[in-house]
Copies of this chain bind each other. A is one copy, B any other.
Amino acid sequence: MASRLRLRIVHDQGVIGPGKVALLKAIRDTGSISGAARSMDMAFRRAWFLIETMNKMFHEPLVRTSVGGREGGGAELTPLGVEVVERYYALEEATRAAAAPHLEWLDGKLAQAAPEDTP
């Protein structure tokens, strides 16, 4: 299998990586924290904790919850939340494109796992 890049954005306030961004995306898609957590096979409490962490990392919150309380109500991304998701994927795409020729060279030098169906 080809090698691939794993990215994290590290900041004084915390780390942003693919997991947190996927959770934002799932909230955008499902309209609730519980739905997002379920779609990612993540405990609700963990999803809640990650969102609180992210909301505190930024000047403004990324996720807004609506009446109905922690379990009942809906959740949506704020305009900043939407933009953070888009920016993260733009960053990911730009870095992957920049890394591609180097990873290709590396793949030519890395040992391959033995094919499973070798006779």
Contacts and interface: CB of A to CB of B under 8 A. Distances in A.
Interface of A: 1, 3-13, 15-16, 56-60, 80, 84, 87-88, 90-91, 94-95, 97-99, 102-103, 105-107, 109-113
Given A5-B7, A12-B113, A94 B99 contact: yes
Given A58-B111, A59-B109, 10 more contacts: A3-B9, A4-B9, A6-B10, A7-B7, A58-B110, A59-B110, A84-B109, A87-B106, A94-B102, A97-B98
Identical subunits present = 2
Contacts of A56: 111
B4 A57 contact: no
Contacts of A16: 3, 106
